[in-house]
């Protein structure tokens, strides 16, 4: 499964956020057989369509899509030179498919800041610089080998040329993704600055209400996504049960924070999207479920997510869009209204497709 690595300076609120994420853990509830590493949190992606499907099909349970977060401790200034957790830290980020930077915005005097003052843009700069310096080392180490190989095998010349460009932009302090380099040519180098990023700004209520401040932060990280949340508040929210009293308390806490939904929900959704993933839906009396596919996946590839045999023996997919299904009120009504399509092996899945696969066994 694809994972998002959580990084940030000490005291930014990473552990607090991670604890909130793992309390929301859907795996424990729905996949009791799964073994989970202690630093991995598997979070359900909230999807309001699933309860509706469950109602239409009388499903016994709901299984949302999930996104995995990994808590990567230990980035400090100098990490690229082996300070702090140094190399262990870098290899953990290398294994992640995207990076989530947690940045401190809350000012709480009782929580010290490594640099003595709360300055989000400077903190982002510190982390980004470490990622870039680590990449520069990687590229400089690889260049002599790439040069030799490209002399022997001319087809490798584009790789070598792109690595040279990478050394140049990294040396100027720009990441390879930002610089718009050809990431496919650089893939074998596993560069950190090639990864998609998203940013969590850890705020208290004051800052959550400060639209000017939020717009400034959005500008700093654009085109990456910015999520504003109160990690401490989210951790408290995540501890609440789902009895009536808890529901009421939850509503009050969200109102106090001035938000409509928990920040963790937004984080799960944006994280999922940042990873380049989308879902399709299946429904029946047993369960209503969202399945994870890459954007652009074809019908047989989507079938393969349920079972490899579904992909091998794929015949066709019976598909109705979620909206058409809800409007018709039942699968039979949707069929009668001509809203259920038969799609073949070249069909590219659309978000919100409700699917039943036909396959040979
Ligand atoms: P980490 O070093 O990045 O993992 O940071 P922690 O999650 O351990 O948080 C450091 C300290 O900041 C702890 O005392 C937290 O309770 C506190 N903290 C975390 N998030 C918030 C927040 O949103 N608001 C406030 N006021 N304090 C927070």
Residue (of 193, 153, 146) closest to 174 by Cα position: 193
pLDDT bracket for residue 73 (50, 70, 90):
low
Domain ranges of the chain: 296-359
Q: Is the pLDDT confidence value at 77 over 70? A: no
| 26 or 223, which is more confident | 223
149-157: Cβ within 8 A, 24+ apart: none
Could you write out the DSSP letters of every residue in 274-315? HTTEEEEEEE-SSEEEEEEEETT-BHHHHHHHH-HHHHHTEE
Distance 31 CA to ligand 1 centre (A): 30
Distance 155 CA to ligand 1 centre (A): 50
CA-proximal residue: ligand 1, atom 21 (nearest): 232
Element (H, E) at 177: none
Q: What is the mean pLDDT of the chain?
A: 90
pLDDT bracket for residue 76 (50, 70, 90):
low
pLDDT bracket for residue 85 (50, 70, 90):
low
The ipTM is 0.96
DSSP SS3 for 224: coil
CA-proximal residue: ligand 1, atom 28 (nearest): 232
12 in ligand 1 pocket by Cβ < 6 Å?
A: yes
Q: What phi and psi, each to the nearest 5 degrees, are found at residue 153?
A: -130, 105
- Which positions ≥6 away from 28 have C-beta within 8 Å? none
Q: What phi and psi, each to the nearest 5 degrees, are found at residue 271?
A: -60, -45
Element (H, E) at 220: helix 211-221
At 213-260, the pLDDT tens digits run 999 999 999 999 999 999 999 999 988 888 999 999 999 999 988 888
Whole-number percent of the chain with pLDDT over 70: 91
pLDDT value at residue 72: 83
Q: Is the pLDDT confidence value at 164 over 90? A: yes
10 in ligand 1 pocket by Cβ < 6 Å?
A: yes
CA-proximal residue: ligand 1, atom 7 (nearest): 13
22 in ligand 1 pocket by Cβ < 6 Å?
A: no
Is the CB of residue 64 less than 8 Å from the CB of residue 50?
yes
Q: Is the pLDDT confidence value at 5 over 90? A: yes
24 in ligand 1 pocket by Cβ < 6 Å?
A: no
At 165-209, the pLDDT tens digits run 999 999 999 999 999 999 999 999 999 999 999 999 999 989 999
Binding site members for ATP: 11-16
pLDDT bracket for residue 59 (50, 70, 90):
very high
Instruction: Assign domain 296-359 one CATH number from 3.10.20.30, 1.10.10.1100, 3.40.630.10, 3.90.180.10.
Output: 3.10.20.30
pLDDT bracket for residue 80 (50, 70, 90):
low
Task: Report in angstroms the alpha-carbon separations of 311 from 40, 143, 235, 299, 305.
Answer: 29, 41, 41, 8, 8
The position carrying tokens 């560069």 is 191
202 in ligand 1 pocket by Cβ < 6 Å?
A: yes
pLDDT value at residue 30: 53
Residue (of 263, 258, 212) closest to 238 by Cα position: 263
Distance 11 CA to ligand 1 centre (A): 5
């Amino acid at each position: 499964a694809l994972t998002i690595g959580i990084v940030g300076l000490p005291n930014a609120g990473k552990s607090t956020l991670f604890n909130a994420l793992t309390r929301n853990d859907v795996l424990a509830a729905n996949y009791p057989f799964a073994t989970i590493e202690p630093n991995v949190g598997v979070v359900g992606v909230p999807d309001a369509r699933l309860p509706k499907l469950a109602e239409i099909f009388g499903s016994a349970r709901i299984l949302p899509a999930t996104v995995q977060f990994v808590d990567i401790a230990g980035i400090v200034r100098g990490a690229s030179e082996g300070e702090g957790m140094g190399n262990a830290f870098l290899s953990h980020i290398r294994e992640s498919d995207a990076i989530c930077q947690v940045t401190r915005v809350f000012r709480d005097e009782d929580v010290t800041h490594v640099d003595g003052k709360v300055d989000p843009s400077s903190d982002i700069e510190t982390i980004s610089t470490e990622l870039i310096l680590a990449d520069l080392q990687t590229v400089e180490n690889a260049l002599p080998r790439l040069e030799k190989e490209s002399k022997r095998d001319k087809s490798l010349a584009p790789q070598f040329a792109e690595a040279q460009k990478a050394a140049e932009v990294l040396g100027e302090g720009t990441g390879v993704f930002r610089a718009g380099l050809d990431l496919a040519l650089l893939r074998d180098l596993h560069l950190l600055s090639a990864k998609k990023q998203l940013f969590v700004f850890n705020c208290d209520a004051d800052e959550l209400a400060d639209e000017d401040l939020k717009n400034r932060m959005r500008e700093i990280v654009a085109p990456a996504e910015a999520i504003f949340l109160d990690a401490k508040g989210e951790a408290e929210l995540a501890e609440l049960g789902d009895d009536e009293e808890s529901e009421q308390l939850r509503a009050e806490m969200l109102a106090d924070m001035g938000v409509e939904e928990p920040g963790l929900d937004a984080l799960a959704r944006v994280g999922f999207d940042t990873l380049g993933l989308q879902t399709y839906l299946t429904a029946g009396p047993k369960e209503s479920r969202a399945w994870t596919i890459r954007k652009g996946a074809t019908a047989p590839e989507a079938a393969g997510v349920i079972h490899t045999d579904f992909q091998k023996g794929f015949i066709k997919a019976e598909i109705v869009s979620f909206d058409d299904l809800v409007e018709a009120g039942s699968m039979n009504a949707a069929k009668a209204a001509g809203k259920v399509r038969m799609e073949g092996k070249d069909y590219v899945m659309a978000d919100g497709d409700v699917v039943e696969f036909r396959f040979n066994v």
